[in-house]
Amino acid sequence: MTNVVNSLDDEDADKQSGASRASPYDALNQQIIRHLQSDGRMSFRSIAEILDVSEGTVRNRVAWMKEAGVLTIVAVVDPTAMQYRTDAMLGIKVAPGWSPAKVAERLGVHPEVVYALWVSGRYDLLVEVVFDSYDDLTNFLTVHCYSESDISSIEIMTGLVMYKNQFLLKRDFN
């Protein structure tokens, strides 16, 4: 069994501040997150046995992280298995007088937008969208991009073949 150095048991947890108990930088929390990333349905008991802590400690840590907005447990569909008919990356130049954050916020409310990143360089925003058809992509571009004054230009790069889409957290906590 892996023993977490300086891990807290249920009694010691009450002595620690609420913010640190939910911290993604805490060693125990990092290990709990890794196990849940591997299998989001893994029981608290199983995680506790592996980490050599009590089940209550794992349950409390997960609850604190969820309450703090650090952790959300959801089912994730592998995008490479979905094979969307239309996948595109939009390189967007924001119009003068508008902020990239506002444009990203406006576009981000649409479920077809799966990724929005403010970038440096040629574009202001990179926005990934997925659709079931080219008609849906065309409609999205017409209604939400070309007809809006906050976008000065857009380059559409449609996907041809998806080789990899790493949808899990890319950063290791160590």
Same domain, 56 and 120: no
Q: What digits encode the pLDDT tens for the residues 52-102?
A: 999 999 999 999 999 988 888 877 665 555 555 678 999 999 999 999 999
Among residues 152, 159, 96, 102, the alpha carbon closest in space to that of 128 is found at 159
Domain assignment of residue 44, given as a range: 10-67
Answer whether 167's CB lies under 8 Å from 115's CB: no
Q: Domain holding 41: CATH number?
A: 1.10.10
Which pLDDT does position 50 carry in this prediction? 95
Same domain, 62 and 90: no
- What is the mean pLDDT of the segment spanning 153-169? 78
Same domain, 145 and 84: yes
* 173 pLDDT higher than 70: no
Identify whether 2 is part of a domain.
no
As a whole number of angstroms, the distance between CA 12 and CA 6 comes to 11
Identify whether 132 is part of a domain.
yes
Same domain, 117 and 137: yes
Q: Domain holding 93: CATH number?
A: 3.30.70.920
| Tally of structural domains, the chain | 2
**Mean pLDDT lowest among 37-51, 65-79, 102-116, 149-163:** 65-79
Answer whether 143's CB lies under 8 Å from 97's CB: no
